[in-house]
Amino acid sequence: MLIVDSHLDIAYNALTWDRDLTQSIRRMRESEAGMPEKGRGLNVVSFEELRRGEIGLFFVTMCCRVASHGKRFPGVRTQDMAYASDRGQLAYYRLMEQKGWLRQIRSAPALRTHLQAWEADPVHCPLGFVLTMEGCDGIVDDDQVPEWWSEGLRVVSLCHYGVSSYAHGTQAPGGLTPRGAPMLRALERAGMMLDLSHLAEAAFWEALDVFGGQILATHNCVRALCDHDRQFDDDQLRAIIGRQGVVGVAFDDWMLSPLWDRQAQDNTGITLETVVDHMDHINQLAGNCRHAAIGTDLDGGYGKEQSPADMDTIADLQKIPDILTQRGYSDDDIATMMHGNWLRLLEEGLPA
């Protein structure tokens, strides 16, 4: 079954973790054997595994934040540096396109063309990607939004951890900064979609008041199941549902369950069943299956040690349909969650 994943830090993986994603998972893991950093030798994403898992379309990030809270949340010193870093990540995606590994999706017609090509030849078709920016410190001012639009940027979030130039984010309570509302209006004028992920609660509600365009959440979980400000409470989820948004459920163990233990050797109690619990919660709030989807964030600074225990690589996303079947979901509802919701949102949110 085709899967659409709304959050993968592909360039971050390649450039920060120094990983050649054109290699096999086995070869990458072997090359990192003995490295002391957390997550080394445990990576779960490669181009080969994406194809094996039938993940023919995914959202990729550019992400570089300006440091905030006295370096509690590390980053660069200035927005100019963030801009340059994001440009470097974009250059990686461009090169992967030139080499035939990836294909950027900029418009609704391009989306349809890619899906036809994937269906005809999933073995050789380039993997499709939608370009996003996670935390937009790299957009140095409102006037620069059209430049990024011309590069194919289509989804933007205002912040990451800490306080960005435009909004308070995860673990930094507060609202929009004075520059936040003007940036939101510039994004809406350009036709960008707004990713609500990482917004602090006050900033979330303020952003919804200002921004009238398409909203989504590329990688989030449910606060009722895992109580942390990184997750959405039910009122936030209802607001997204009411605006016809979609939530990509993340696969990071600490976002999935309060049972996660950073010091544990494994987290066998956190599985793909746990992921489906979050999807099901969103469905129950909505009264339908049109708002829950996949947004893994796999390899977002971690690997197998912080992923559902019954996953070895991202290809194991194909286990989820069987779990949904066991929960009583129909084939049509399962297809809706695995790819249909994101395809519908992109069809509506991308330029015609």
- Supply the CATH number for residue 178's domain: 3.20.20.140
User: Residue 10: what pLDDT?
Assistant: 98
Confidence label for 311 from pLDDT (cuts 50, 70 and 90): very high
User: Residue 71: what pLDDT?
Assistant: 62
Q: Is the pLDDT of residue 263 over 70?
A: no
Q: Is the pLDDT of residue 170 over 90?
A: yes
Asked whether 135 and 159 are in contact (CB, 8 A), the reply is: yes
Q: Is the pLDDT of residue 92 over 90?
A: yes
Nearest to 43 by CA among 58, 23, 60: 23
- CA 251 to the chain's CA centroid: 10
pTM of the model: 0.97
CA distance 339 to 58: 10
Percent of residues, the chain, with pLDDT higher than 90: 91
Per the structure, how many domains does the chain have? 1
Q: Is the pLDDT of residue 319 over 80?
A: yes
Over residues 99-113, the mean pLDDT reads 99
User: Residue 266: what pLDDT?
Assistant: 65
User: Residue 341: what pLDDT?
Assistant: 99
Token duo for residue 80? 């100019």
* Domain, as residue range, for 321: 4-349
Over residues 203-215, the mean pLDDT reads 99
For 37-67, how does the pLDDT look when each residue is reduced to its tens digit (9 = 90+)?
888 999 999 999 999 999 999 999 999 999 8
One DSSP character per residue, 215-227 reads EEEEEE-BTTTS-
Q: Is the pLDDT of residue 69 over 70?
A: no
